[in-house]
């Protein structure tokens, strides 16, 4: 079993466990990550936002700007750059940063950053011509703009950053896909210095590690984790892959692209379990064998001092596994992977559970249909959106910090578990009045996007408030839902005719056990304003849409649904849901 030891480098001091009275020596890479995360987790590119006073960016031609006589090519000896996101490969002065052998033997880029320290007031970078999305630049850890800088089509060209004053600044260029980095140029009086270089974490994963569907791959989980840990993270993701899965034979699974991390000298390797492996409903033994095979190969290639972590699948929620009837399967697969790790009897190997953890998984709800997934999930790509990657990356970074501290034998920096910055309700709300048909027909609360899909075998709760104005002809309001087969409900209501300056003289309340049977929820009168509040529960056996509706008891002369009307729904469990929390 490899020991956790301290490597001494010239001019360095031994670092000890300051918590343990035995002063156990701490693994230098793990301690470096923890020290960096302690200052970066809440103070980083993601928390600082864009620059208030950004430099001017000028896109020129392939000819160097006048006066920029000092040239620094990325691949040259002693070049003042560090990079991350992929392993640099320079040909004829042009550098790419391939990170993942997606298929065959050709590596592809995801995102990358090149950093240098400028002592001056201008710097020009030779980069690709990019007509969409474009390069993003960072100054002292802040984006110059969250929107990339583009150019006309053609050959490489210079992008020049001009600052109002001369100063020492850390400059980064962020690219993705086929974008390249050529060189940096400064004026004769200015200098570039290579920043200090810390550890590198290589993440082995699926398409969730490529920021799939987002305009900027630098908004993906890998870059977010990089910013929160303060150390380089290379994201080796490929669509449809896992320990076993190979996208129906079109992509390389983890074993087939093993050289991506075994030959590039990462300081830490993280393997992600993937939902792609679960599609075929493998046996626990199959999962265990696949994980163990990669652990053995990685340890053999990387040597005894490189920490290796296996992270359980963490994109899906507990509710989604329950809804799919796979919770027991997932628990078994996690257990199998954990056994593959523990049986290595290796102090620098660890497993991070998700479904089998005492904490809740990071997400709630099911895909983009309900709960907090609705705000951070891109239904068009079946992946997270930019907000989801930011949230997931922050949560993921915290789990790594905790596990790394455990492996190092020290107390982790004190952070609270990040909470998703969104509601777990799926909500529809009117921001402008909507005129409706003045008759007694049944109409949806919302004239467009008025239904919410519900999953099969699930329990939901809902509530909403309907605000209306009617004409002066005496009329009341009925409430109902569109018919929903394979489901049961019970809902209550309170309704009244009232205006915003007058109190109601008659209030109606009650409850119903049906969807499409209209209940008269306000008395008929000539008062023009109406208010209805409904709350209830739905239990489903088959999937369907929940659609709140109303009708007038008589044509009142006018009918308008007012801004502020809202309806919200959230899934609370399976169709047999009884309670959550520690009821006694």
Task: Verify that 227 and 86 share a domain, yes or no.
Answer: yes
Q: What is the pLDDT averaged over residues 109-118? A: 95
Task: Verify that 176 and 315 share a domain, yes or no.
Answer: yes
Task: Verify that 389 and 471 share a domain, yes or no.
Answer: no
Q: What is the pLDDT of residues 494-537, one digit of tens each?
A: 999 887 666 766 888 999 999 999 999 998 988 888 999 999 99
- Contact (Cβ atoms closer than 8 angstroms) between residue 282 and residue 333: yes
Task: Verify that 460 and 432 share a domain, yes or no.
Answer: yes
Q: What is the pLDDT averaged over residues 74-82? A: 93
- Contact (Cβ atoms closer than 8 angstroms) between residue 341 and residue 350: yes
* Cα angle: 582, vertex 324, 428; to 5 degrees: 75
Residue 184 falls inside a structural domain: yes
pLDDT of residue 366: 60
**Residue 51: CB partners within 8 Å, gap ≥ 6?**
139, 142, 143, 144, 145
Q: What is the pLDDT averaged over residues 309-314? A: 95
Q: What is the pLDDT averaged over residues 167-190? A: 96
Q: What is the pLDDT of residues 327-356, one digit of tens each?
A: 999 999 999 999 999 999 999 999 999 999
pLDDT tier, 372 (very low <50, low <70, confident <90, very high otherwise): low
Task: Verify that 160 and 290 share a domain, yes or no.
Answer: yes
Task: Verify that 122 and 191 share a domain, yes or no.
Answer: yes
pLDDT of residue 538: 96
* Cα angle: 80, vertex 81, 83; to 5 degrees: 170
**Residue 170: CB partners within 8 Å, gap ≥ 6?**
115, 116, 117, 118, 139, 140, 141, 195
- Contact (Cβ atoms closer than 8 angstroms) between residue 180 and residue 96: yes
Q: What is the pLDDT averaged over residues 299-315? A: 95
Task: Verify that 471 and 522 share a domain, yes or no.
Answer: yes
Most confident of 20-34, 40-54, 170-184, 386-400: 170-184
From 346, 377, 408, the end of a domain falls on 408
pLDDT tier, 427 (very low <50, low <70, confident <90, very high otherwise): confident
Q: Is the pTM of this model over 0.85?
A: no
pLDDT tier, 383 (very low <50, low <70, confident <90, very high otherwise): confident
Task: Verify that 338 and 449 share a domain, yes or no.
Answer: no
User: How many angstroms separate the CA atoms of 158 and 503, rounded?
Assistant: 68
pLDDT tier, 543 (very low <50, low <70, confident <90, very high otherwise): confident
More confident residue, 13 or 550: 550
From 353, 381, 408, the end of a domain falls on 408
Residue 540, domain extent: 426-574
pLDDT of residue 24: 43
Q: What is the pLDDT of residues 482-498, one digit of tens each?
A: 999 999 999 999 999 88
Q: What is the pLDDT of residues 7-45, one digit of tens each?
A: 333 333 323 334 343 324 568 899 899 999 988 998 999
pLDDT of residue 322: 82
Residue 38 falls inside a structural domain: yes
Q: What is the pLDDT averaged over residues 2-6? A: 35
Task: Verify that 37 and 161 share a domain, yes or no.
Answer: yes
Task: Verify that 441 and 519 share a domain, yes or no.
Answer: yes
Most confident of 114-128, 212-226, 352-366, 543-557: 114-128
pLDDT of residue 83: 95
pLDDT of residue 22: 32
Residue 580 falls inside a structural domain: no
pLDDT at 3 over 60: no
pLDDT of residue 563: 94
Task: Verify that 373 and 445 share a domain, yes or no.
Answer: no
Residue 462 falls inside a structural domain: yes
Residue 4 falls inside a structural domain: no
pLDDT of residue 573: 77
The mean of the pLDDT values for the chain is 88
- Contact (Cβ atoms closer than 8 angstroms) between residue 540 and residue 428: no
Residue 158 falls inside a structural domain: yes
Bridge-partner residues for 509, per DSSP? Answer: 494
Least trusted range by pLDDT, from 260-269, 331-340, 385-394: 385-394
pLDDT of residue 324: 82
pLDDT of residue 374: 62
Residue 256 falls inside a structural domain: yes
Least trusted range by pLDDT, from 10-14, 154-158, 244-248, 484-488: 10-14
Domain count, the chain: 2
Least trusted range by pLDDT, from 14-28, 64-78, 118-132, 230-244: 14-28
Q: What is the largest CA-CA distance in the chain?
A: 90
Closest by CA to 387, choosing from 213, 572, 189, is: 213
Q: What is the pLDDT of residues 181-212, one digit of tens each?
A: 999 999 999 999 999 999 999 999 999 999 88
Task: Verify that 33 and 67 share a domain, yes or no.
Answer: yes
Residue 215: give its domain's CATH number. Answer: 3.40.50.1110
Residue 483: give its domain's CATH number. Answer: 2.60.120
User: How many angstroms separate the CA atoms of 162 and 380, rounded?
Assistant: 39
pLDDT at 441 over 70: yes
pLDDT at 139 over 70: yes
Strand pairing class (191-193; 157-176): unpaired
pLDDT of residue 373: 63
If you write DSSP's letter for every residue of 456-513 in order, what string do you get? SSEEEEEEEEEEEEE-SS-B-EEEEE---TTEEEEEEEEEEE--TTS--S-EEEEEES
Q: What is the pLDDT averaged over residues 47-59? A: 92
Residue 19 falls inside a structural domain: no
From 408, 441, 461, the end of a domain falls on 408
């Amino acid at each position: 079993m490899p020991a956790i030891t301290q490597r001494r480098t010239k001019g360095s001091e031994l670092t000890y466990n300051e918590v343990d009275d035995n002063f156990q020596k701490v693994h230098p890479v793990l301690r470096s990550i923890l020290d960096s995360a302690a200052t970066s987790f809440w103070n980083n590119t993601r928390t600082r936002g864009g620059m208030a006073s950004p430099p001017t960016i000028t896109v020129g031609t392939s000819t160097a700007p006048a006066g920029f006589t000092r040239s620094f090519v990325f691949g040259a000896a002693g070049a003042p750059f560090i990079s991350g996101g992929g392993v640099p490969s320079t040909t004829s002065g042009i550098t790419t940063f391939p990170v993942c052998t997606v298929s065959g033997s050709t590596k592809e880029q995801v995102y990358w950053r090149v950093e240098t320290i400028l002592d001056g007031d201008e710097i020009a970078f030779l980069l690709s011509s990019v007509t969409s999305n474009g390069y993003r630049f960072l100054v002292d850890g802040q984006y110059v703009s969250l929107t990339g800088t583009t150019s006309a089509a053609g050959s490489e060209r210079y992008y020049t950053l001009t600052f109002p004053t001369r100063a020492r600044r850390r400059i980064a260029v962020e690219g993705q896909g086929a974008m390249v980095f050529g060189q940096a140029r400064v004026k004769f009086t200015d200098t570039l210095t290579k920043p200090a270089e810390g550890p590198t974490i290589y993440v082995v994963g699926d398409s969730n590690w490529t920021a799939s569907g987002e305009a900027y791959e630098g908004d993906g989980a890998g870059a977010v984790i990089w910013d929160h840990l303060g150390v380089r993270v290379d994201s080796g993701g490929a669509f449809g892959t896992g320990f076993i899965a190979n996208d129906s034979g079109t992509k390389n699974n983890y074993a087939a692209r093993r050289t991506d991390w075994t030959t590039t000298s990462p300081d830490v390797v993280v393997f992600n379990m993937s939902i792609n492996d679960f599609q075929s409903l493998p046996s626990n033994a199959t999962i265990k064998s696949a994980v163990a095979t990669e652990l053995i190969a990685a340890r053999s290639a990387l040597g005894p001092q490189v920490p290796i972590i296996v992270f359980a699948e963490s994109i899906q929620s507990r509710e989604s596994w329950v809804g799919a009837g796979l919770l027991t399967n997932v628990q078994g697969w996690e257990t199998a992977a954990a056994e593959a790790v523990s049986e290595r009897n290796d102090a620098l190997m660890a497993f991070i559970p998700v479904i089998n953890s005492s904490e809740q998984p990071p997400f709630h709800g099911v895909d983009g249909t309900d709960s907090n997934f609705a705000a951070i999930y891109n239904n068009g790509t079946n992946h997270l959106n930019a907000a989801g990657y930011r949230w997931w990356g922050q949560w993921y970074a915290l789990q790594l910090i905790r596990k790394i501290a455990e492996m190092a034998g020290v107390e982790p920096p004190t952070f609270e578990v990040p909470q998703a910055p969104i509601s777990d309700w799926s909500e529809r709300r009117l921001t402008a009045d909507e005129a409706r048909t003045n008759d007694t027909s049944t109409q949806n609360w919302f004239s467009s996007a008025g239904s919410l899909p519900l999953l099969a075998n699930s329990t939901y709760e809902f509530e909403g408030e309907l605000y209306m104005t009617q004409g002066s002809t005496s009329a009341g309001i009925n409430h109902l839902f569109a018919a929903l087969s394979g489901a049961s409900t019970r809902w209550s209501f309170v309704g009244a005719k009232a205006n915003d300056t007058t109190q109601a003289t008659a209030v109606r309340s009650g409850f119903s056990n049906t969807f499409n049977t209209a209940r008269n929820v306000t008395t008929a009168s000539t008062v023009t304003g109406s208010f209805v509040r409904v709350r209830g529960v739905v239990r489903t056996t088959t999937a369907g849409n929940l659609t709140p509706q109303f009708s007038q008891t008589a044509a009142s002369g006018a009918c308008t649904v007012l801004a502020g009307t809202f309806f919200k729904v959230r899934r609370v469990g399976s169709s047999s849901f009884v309670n959550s929390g520690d009821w006694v």
